[in-house]
Amino acid sequence: MTEWDGLTLLARWLVYISLSTSIGGAISLRLLRRQETILPRLRLYTLVSLMLGFFTSTLYYFVRVGAFAEAGLAGMFDPVMREVLWNSPVGGELLSRLLGLCVLFAALILTLPTNRSGRMGAVEVLSLLLGCLLLGASFARTGHTTQLDFFASALLALHVVLATWWIGSIYPLWLVTHRLSRERARHVLERFGELAINAVVLLVIAGGILLWRLTGGEGLLTTPYGFWVVCKGALVALILVIAAYHRYQLVPVLMDGGSRHQLKKSLALEKVVGWGIFGATTVLATLVGPAH
């Protein structure tokens, strides 16, 4: 692995994290719009995430420019190679992400106290959908997933949006546990649990179909790609166990004096595992592929 491979891995991993917090924050603002106590923190979380999303997406693009230019760090700003990549799928990927982040920023503006009419609420929902769609679709523009047809690309976008929403929503749920009363916190966490069950079903189905379309079920135990798929699958299984522990053990006892501290620690662990899943996904998307 070269130095540029390492920089590409790091930059793409940061893209996953920043886009997950952007999507998770933006959607949480809509779902938790009646929880006035935590709305200022949620807006700040979403705003910072969007800014990081712009930075990391742009950084990833310039790292790719540098990797192609092969002229040291100065190659990241090579005008010829920058123009070449801008007119390639790499440029299309960046443009889709920047547009998606801009649309989510518009959705954030619509959550301000001055924009509470029903019409603004409908525009906010449409902005959320469009922004998430653009961000999810950007991941089908480069790499080995470009071979997918429209249906599989749509599944990939759905898979990305659901995964990033789930992991990006962990901090908002931590805020719910930390700031709201036990009764309100339990109500919100139970509602999120119900949404998460449906999301997990769609997430697993979409992931399974995509894996089959990419590999045909071959090489999962004998190739580097298969090794990292298994690693990612193990981390996904672990995060599902943690989520089930929250849903069926920690949340039900919250009203009966259950420990908020224990739930917050468990949410932090879930976030770390989620970042590990992004790490495995980064390796799959950057260093190895079904053809390997």
Q: In the predicted model, is pLDDT for residue 142 greater than 80?
A: no
Q: If you average pLDDT over residues 216-226, what whole number do you get?
A: 71
Residue 189 included in any domain = yes
Q: Are 135 and 97 in contact (CB under 8 A)?
A: yes
Q: If you average pLDDT over residues 101-117, what whole number do you get?
A: 81
Residue 291 included in any domain = no
Residue 117 included in any domain = yes
Q: Angle at which helices 3-31 and 182-215 pack, to 10 degrees?
A: 140
pLDDT confidence tier of residue 290, bands split at 50, 70 and 90: low
Residue 107 included in any domain = yes
pLDDT computed for residue 69 by the predictor: 84
Distance, CA of 90 to CA of 45 (rounded, Å): 28
pLDDT computed for residue 292 by the predictor: 43
pLDDT digits (tens, 9 = 90+) for 166-194: 999 999 999 998 888 888 888 888 888 88
pLDDT confidence tier of residue 50, bands split at 50, 70 and 90: very high
Q: If you average pLDDT over residues 159-168, what whole number do you get?
A: 91
Q: Are 162 and 124 in contact (CB under 8 A)?
A: no
pLDDT confidence tier of residue 103, bands split at 50, 70 and 90: very high
| Residue 57: partners with Cβ closer than 8 Å, 6 or more residues away | 15, 18, 19, 94, 97, 98, 101
Residue with tokens 């309100």: 184
Residue 292 included in any domain = no
Q: In the predicted model, is pLDDT for residue 67 greater than 70?
A: yes
CATH of the domain at 175: 1.20.1630
Structural domain count, the chain: 1
Distance, CA of 168 to CA of 159 (rounded, Å): 14
Q: In the predicted model, is pLDDT for residue 274 greater than 50?
A: yes
pLDDT confidence tier of residue 120, bands split at 50, 70 and 90: low
Q: Which residue range(s) make up the domain with 224?
A: 3-286
Report which secondary-structure segment, H or E, holds 288.
none
Residue 70 included in any domain = yes
Would you give the DSSP letter of residue 73? Answer: G
pLDDT confidence tier of residue 209, bands split at 50, 70 and 90: confident
> What is the model's pTM?
0.90
Distance, CA of 27 to CA of 108 (rounded, Å): 10
